[in-house]
């Protein structure tokens, strides 16, 4: 009785763990917020997963390994994410299929290896298929494996890059599916002759596919780094040209200052006080417009914001800002450029899709002790279709735009920061807090 209880308890935990960590992984990777506390969210996942877990575990009574179980888990996790998601998530089912197939292939590989070990073992034969303590211990090891893989995938960008690249996503998805179809027969004690040879061939092919994908990954990362370096250099050049222009305009203003004062003096002597006041106000307004530059005490922030203010003005975007004195920060110029420049680029691009009179962008940057707070709010085209595609670009190089968005997340993760966003009727608000010491 105890033996059966432990066996079925571990079987149910096996499917609960596989489904639970899969849902948590994709909720976090897609930035889906359920609006509930984490323990409530976890409880909902466990309760809602119960019928699927029962179906999967109960299959063991009739078929020791059933592919229908795999399909049921993929469908359930995909529908769960779709229902909770505020965005029109694409490619979710193919990515979930890769996750489920990969986890189940680990199961099949270990079983296959142990079957071969049992052939030459003189002391003890492990039975990882039939009911017993051996099977329960094996399942507990799988539970640990699921959690470790979840932690690794949360910190990596593998899912994001597969999401961006349809070719590699489907190659891996189909290849993992073929592995399931081929090796699931170990649970029926087939492939006894050349099982390990087949596995070695399969794994070598898998390593080749992964190697090609890594080459692609490195190439895209290099392109992204070069893009950020070029962006930083372009902004430095633009900042220099802007400063030179302001300097020249100031020289002209000061050169003509005497003449301006003579005109004002003449107007006052003629008792044309109203005209004199208008003249003074015009002069003040012109002076302020020339010298309206951000001076936060942090050179890279000043360069980025000043450049983006100029860009916004060219595109008829009302750019308002409230920036405290920031001073020295322990974030590299490249990281700050990746974070702030991409944020403002996305905001400006969203504003361009709005009517000229409604284009507005508001930036707030504040420092509280050793924390930097950045808030960007911008106009956006309102509508369900546009709402679901806010993070997509209309530019030709969509691949690098996607990586630009990931570089924002990368900087936040690298510096232990936090990001939240909110969509109102026709506004998009993103809020970032990040330690700077």
Can you give the pLDDT at residue 76?
Answer: 94
- Note the Cα 83 to chain centre separation in Å: 20
Can you give the pLDDT at residue 372?
Answer: 92
Residues 414 and 407 sit within 8 Å (Cβ to Cβ): no
Cα gap 111→404, rounded to integer Å:
42
Can you give the pLDDT at residue 401?
Answer: 44
Query: By mean pLDDT, which of 87-101, 144-158, 187-201 is the weakest?
Result: 187-201
Can you give the pLDDT at residue 386?
Answer: 45
Cα-based angle 389, 395, 400 (whole degrees, multiple of 5): 85
Can you give the pLDDT at residue 397?
Answer: 47
Residue 122, phi then psi, degrees to nearest 5: -105, -5
Does the pLDDT of residue 388 top 50, yes or no?
A: no
- Residue 197's Cβ-side half-sphere holds a number of Cα atoms within 13 Å equal to 4
Can you give the pLDDT at residue 389?
Answer: 45
Mean pLDDT, rounded, for 319-323: 89
- The model's pLDDT over 113-143, given as tens digits with 9 standing for 90+, comes to 888 888 887 778 888 888 888 889 999 999 9
Cα gap 163→418, rounded to integer Å:
23
- Average pLDDT for the chain: 80
Higher pLDDT, 12 or 337: 12
Q: Which range has highest mean pLDDT (217-226, 238-247, 304-313)?
A: 304-313
Mean pLDDT, rounded, for 147-166: 85
Can you give the pLDDT at residue 40?
Answer: 87
- The model's pLDDT over 348-365, given as tens digits with 9 standing for 90+, comes to 988 998 888 889 999 999
- Residue 189's Cβ-side half-sphere holds a number of Cα atoms within 13 Å equal to 6
pTM over 0.95: no
- The model's pLDDT over 239-293, given as tens digits with 9 standing for 90+, comes to 556 555 555 655 666 656 667 677 777 778 877 778 878 877 776 666 555 455 6
């Amino acid at each position: 009785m105890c033996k059966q209880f432990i066996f079925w308890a571990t079987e149910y935990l096996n499917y609960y763990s596989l489904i639970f960590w899969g849902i948590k992984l994709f909720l976090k990777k897609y930035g889906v917020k359920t609006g509930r506390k984490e323990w409530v969210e976890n409880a909902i996942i466990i309760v809602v997963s119960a019928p699927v877990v029962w179906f999967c575990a109960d299959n063991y009574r009739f078929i020791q390994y059933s592919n229908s179980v795999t399909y049921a888990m993929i469908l359930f996790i995909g529908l769960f994410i779709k229902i909770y998601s505020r965005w029109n998530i694409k490619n979710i089912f193919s990515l979930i299929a890769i996750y489920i197939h990969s986890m189940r292939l680990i199961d099949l590989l270990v079983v296959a290896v142990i079957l071969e070990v049992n052939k030459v073992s003189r002391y003890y034969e492990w039975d990882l298929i039939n009911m017993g303590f051996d099977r329960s211990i094996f399942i507990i090891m799988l539970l640990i494996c699921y959690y470790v893989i979840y932690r690794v995938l949360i910190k990596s960008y593998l899912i994001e890059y597969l999401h961006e690249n349809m070719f590699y996503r489907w190659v891996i998805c189909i290849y993992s599916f073929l592995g399931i179809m081929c090796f699931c027969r170990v649970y029926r004690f087939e492939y006894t002759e050349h099982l390990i040879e087949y596995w070695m061939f399969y794994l070598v092919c898998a390593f080749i596919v992964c190697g090609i994908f890594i080459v692609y990954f490195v190439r895209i990362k290099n392109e992204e780094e070069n893009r950020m370096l070029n962006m930083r250099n372009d902004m430095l050049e633009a900042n220099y040209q802007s400063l030179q222009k302001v300097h020249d305009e100031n020289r002209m203003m000061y050169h003509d200052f005497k003449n301006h004062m003579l005109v004002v003096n003449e107007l006052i002597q003629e008792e044309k006080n109203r005209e004199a006041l208008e003249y003074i106000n015009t002069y003040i307004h012109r002076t302020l417009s020339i010298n309206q530059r951000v001076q936060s005490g942090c050179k890279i922030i000043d360069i980025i914001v000043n450049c983006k203010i100029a860009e916004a003005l060219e595109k008829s975007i009302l750019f308002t800002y409230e920036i405290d004195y920031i001073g020295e920060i322990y974030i590299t110029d490249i990281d700050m450029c990746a974070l702030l420049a991409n944020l403002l680029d996305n905001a400006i691009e969203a504003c361009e899709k709005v009517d000229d009179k409604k284009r507005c962008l508001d930036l707030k940057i504040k420092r509280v002790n050793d924390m930097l707070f950045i808030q960007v709010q911008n106009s956006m085209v309102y509508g369900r279709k546009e709402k679901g595609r806010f993070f997509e670009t209309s530019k030709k190089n969509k691949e690098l735009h996607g990586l630009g968005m990931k570089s924002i997340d990368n900087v936040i993760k690298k510096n232990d920061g936090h990001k939240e966003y909110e969509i109102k009727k026709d506004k998009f608000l993103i809020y970032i807090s990040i330690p700077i010491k």
